[in-house]
Chain A
């Protein structure tokens, strides 16, 4: 058992439901006790969804516990089939069904005999995978199911489109700024004559899935969801894919470079026109995106060398780290992710960009790390925003888990050239503005608040400060006060002093470089 107060990634079934409800006319039936259908609440509120979430529960109650589900699941499937005629019904196991170990596959087999809809069992194991891995798996499963069947029925059209085209894989509900990113992603290749074949799963119809292989290549914008589907399509249908996330100027340029390469392989055979995006990238970087100019402008000088901590899912944390370090000259003291299953690749990506890499699902570990480092700004999830609030450090939210604030109505992509503008704004606004910072240095700070305990862990032994020493400490400007306190305490500990008096603070000050 594990004591937990908060979690970054949800349970597996949430991932399956996110994928299933993103497709059109797909219905998910959860095998779960009453009250476990809170996914509907999340989707309806956080996404401000207008339509009923196509998820119902086949309720597990005492009777099910005693006698097994028997006909209940099958009846619920057939009922949904009659009521709403979905193209596909996804039976979704939860932790409860994984403990009960009922033969859900058997229910699916029996139900699919009588129902007009296709029925599948989401192949996810509650104990082995989290929300993101389950989403990845379910997406692959649905695609595989439809393509295999199309192949058997020989309805598969394997001729590639005449103009270069791409599938965008992995845009779905409750994703961090996914809708905006999708619009930007369609525009990015679109401007250079590449059309979008399909976007899945968001808003996609299953009947068109058989046309997926007609695209020239696949785009997987986020590492967490879509890679399995892309590798499946590569293996079975020889479709290359791009897994570079076009976030930030250099990543976007790399992304377009990849497109150029992939398209030119085919272009050579299909038409004699070869694509060259060099000019396009140059123009976009210099003039469409303001980010390059922004980091050159004098305003950004104030940010140089400031410290930041980054934490989030693997895609966003890695990209933001790269942007901060390479594009804005900010020092990243620590960069981390909660995607443990992707730890190796993450470390590789941020290698050399930050002082320290953390991979953890424990938010107190992240909090303690931040408190220890005391950066000027944090870029993290909603949780880090709250940590920041507590220890008075500004935070920009760059990754899910999401909150309703992260479903803005206005256009806020993180990807592509418009995304670079949005990110530059976010980063700039997250640091205390330069002049304000400078003035408070000069005047010794205008905050008279007492420094609160900045440690988040509970097992920390307290060192006593005498009131005089405390008031002396408060004369130190706010932005270095925390550090001064820490240095003094470290000094006290080294010298076995349990009570800090004014003398001790001075002694400590002499010893340290402060």
Chain B
């Protein structure tokens, strides 16, 4: 009975993870510009890989009796570095002049980039 419960928990975690990674891939194809793709890549991929790792951890711990703290550390590292990666890609794209999607309704950062450009010209 408990074995079945544990097994179904593991299956749920791993299939949720795979599903979210699939959603990330679909989002990378469907979304219009790099900034909205960064949304899909930084959120869904993080949660997807995290829940796969949780499933693997539970499998090795509860079924094979092998408590592996390295997987927990991996989850924590992913949790910290995933969003930072999304942020850095979006920032680098903006300052190297990648255009926003045409649906964009508002852009508060445009004056900032103009200022940077004039600063560079003065130098």
Same assembly: no
A positions within 8 Å CB-CB of B: none
